[in-house]
Amino acid sequence: MDADQTSAPCLNRRQLLKAGLGVGGSLLLGGCWADGYGEDVANATRPLNERIEAWLQSKGPGPEFPRSQVRPEELLLNSFNGVPALDPASYRLQVAGLVGRPLSLDLAALAALPQQEMIIRHICVEGWAAIVAWGGVRLADVLKLAQASNLGSYVYFDSADGYYESWDIASAMHPQTLLATHMNGEPLPAQNGAPLRLATPIKLGYKLSKWVTAIRVEPTLMASRKGYWEDQGYEWFAGL
């Protein structure tokens, strides 16, 4: 789902996290505890799950595809709290927290940074997927511009619709993590998160915040504010 799903069936993620790595594959897909295991079991297995996912993520990049495989109609539209009205002329991305150089970037400043395009698969926890061409700036380049501190272990994202997320710093610095301003060669539509959204092949869709307005680098993960869906029991790392 595109950062706003309403149900959470389990997916075959990297073939059940490489066949479960010997700990019982059915316990490895966090975010599915509501389907019968109970929150206590999910909490007990989540740290191992996240370590396995982080290890898999470190083994190489997520898959990319030729433009001929893009299917715009397969990217379903969803809304967490309606589509916010953001004026591109007055939009600013705030970058703060453990940074040596706090930033307030308009769209021109973002466009002046090195631009990337990736054709990747967007995977929703509800069970559908779509191959999309995303264009924009690497999140790592923005964090480097802000001089993110080595003491920062987590990155928080706030969105104009009230949605919120948090990531580990390694995922945020991954070369395939974009702050996207374009989709399929065109400016990003409002319903898909314009003027700025997250896009990457290494996270499930609910981690990919739309309408991003603020980024904060922090030393710790707040137990009470991990992410909108994570605070309701979904898996936090949500790696692919």
Q: Name the average pLDDT for the chain.
A: 83
Three-point CA angle 57, 129, 158, nearest 5°? 65
Kindly tell me if the per-residue pLDDT of 30 is higher than 50.
no
Kindly tell me if the per-residue pLDDT of 60 is higher than 90.
no
Residue 7 domain-assigned?
Answer: no
Per the structure, how many domains does the chain have? Answer: 1
Q: State in Å, rounded, how far the first CA of the chain is from the last one.
A: 14
Residue 212 domain-assigned?
Answer: yes
CATH number of the domain where residue 45 is located = 3.90.420.10
Three-point CA angle 174, 180, 185, nearest 5°? 120
Residue 120 domain-assigned?
Answer: yes
Structure confidence at residue 43 (pLDDT)? 53
Rounded average pLDDT over 38-65? 63
